[in-house]
Amino acid sequence: MEPTAAFPPVFTEQQRFLRHWWGLLLLALIPALLPAIIAGVDGPRAVGAEAWVAPLVALALLGLVLSIRLDVRLDATGAHYRLWPLQLAERQQPWAEISRAYVRSYDPLGEYGGWGLKGTRRNRVLNVAGSEGIQLELLDGRRLLLGTQRPEEARRALAQLGHPAPETAAPL
């Protein structure tokens, strides 16, 4: 996410899906994988190649989950975002296409079914943690919610960019 000199960022945030307590979860998984590791000490031929498939798939999925990152940037041109590695290219929502922008609290499980890239084409959320987000209401009726761990900084940035907090920014 490269800002240009002509439009320096007013707000940038990079969030990772990885949380500190995940280390404890990983330690709990070791006993589950230990039999496959012990059985495979002599190599894949001793127990069969299929014995290595599940641990390798589990490691690949773990690597994918640990690499998930949400990048958000607000500047004079609009809101820029990417949920890497699910979205390889940065997406942009120009201010000219946004009718309202504000920070709000939300219920990730109740409103969207959890964290990640969720929702429908008309009402989408990108988040990795928490329950605060930058709500963008587009002129065509679509809504986009970008999770943030720094709601006060995001509010100040939106105000600086000409999108002050609405009188009633309650969850819809």
pLDDT tens per residue, range 158-169: 999 998 777 654
At 130-166, the pLDDT tens digits run 999 999 999 999 999 999 999 999 999 999 999 877 7
Task: Tell me how far apart the alpha carbons of residues 36 and 49 are, in angstroms, rounded to a whole number.
Answer: 11
Least confident of 4-8, 43-47, 74-78, 144-148: 43-47
Report pTM: 0.74
Residue range(s) in the chain whose domain bears CATH number 2.30.29: 11-15+70-160
Tell whether the model's pLDDT for residue 108 goes beyond 70: yes
- Residue 4 is predicted with a pLDDT of 56
- Residue 22 is predicted with a pLDDT of 60
CATH number of 11-15+70-160: 2.30.29
- Residue 25 is predicted with a pLDDT of 66
Tell whether the model's pLDDT for residue 47 goes beyond 70: no
- Residue 8 is predicted with a pLDDT of 80
| 109: DSSP letter | I
- Residue 61 is predicted with a pLDDT of 76
Task: Tell me how far apart the alpha carbons of residues 86 and 107 are, in angstroms, rounded to a whole number.
Answer: 22
59-85: average pLDDT: 88
pLDDT above 90: percentage of residues in the chain: 51
Pair 16, 69: CB distance under 8 Å: yes
